Chains A and B, each alone.
Chain A
């Protein structure tokens, strides 16, 4: 079945540096991908919608200059956490919908494995 892959799974970085997380749809094309963040014991919160070939749209309260999103191809979206600080430490996860697949809404949305970011 369709798979969405994220890389890296784990990353530790120093405060003030930038970190890039990749989200790939492995066997389908995704014009839209979504980025979520989950702090410990909290729900997944939608950060932004990544749109292939155009600017990402950000949810209220999410700083677009801090969380840079690039969706340069139909199978790859990247999230760059710029000037990372310890409070950015979180679980970042992407999802994409395989519009070419039959089946209900829920059966065509795929999540990446997630990326754990720790900023020290």
Chain B
């Protein structure tokens, strides 16, 4: 079964800073997900990626399949980016039996 490690667990930064959140996993996968969870609990899917890089607004996600590692970057961070960011990968290679989630990175952006 896959195991997921996210770092850092907590991150506080000033508005405008460049943010990087890391995710490592143990078993080769077909795709990795990045999710955002705001206070109050609602989950939003940010990215699903299987190779290379994806960009959406100020968010950039990269993945290195060989190194089993993904990063989520936030450029020009803003207080509204404050949330928990979670990465998730298939529990087994095929993914039919669901996802394994990281514990999340709690991000606070101060004005």
The reply to whether chain A is a binding partner of chain B is: no
Binding site for A on B (CB under 8 A): none
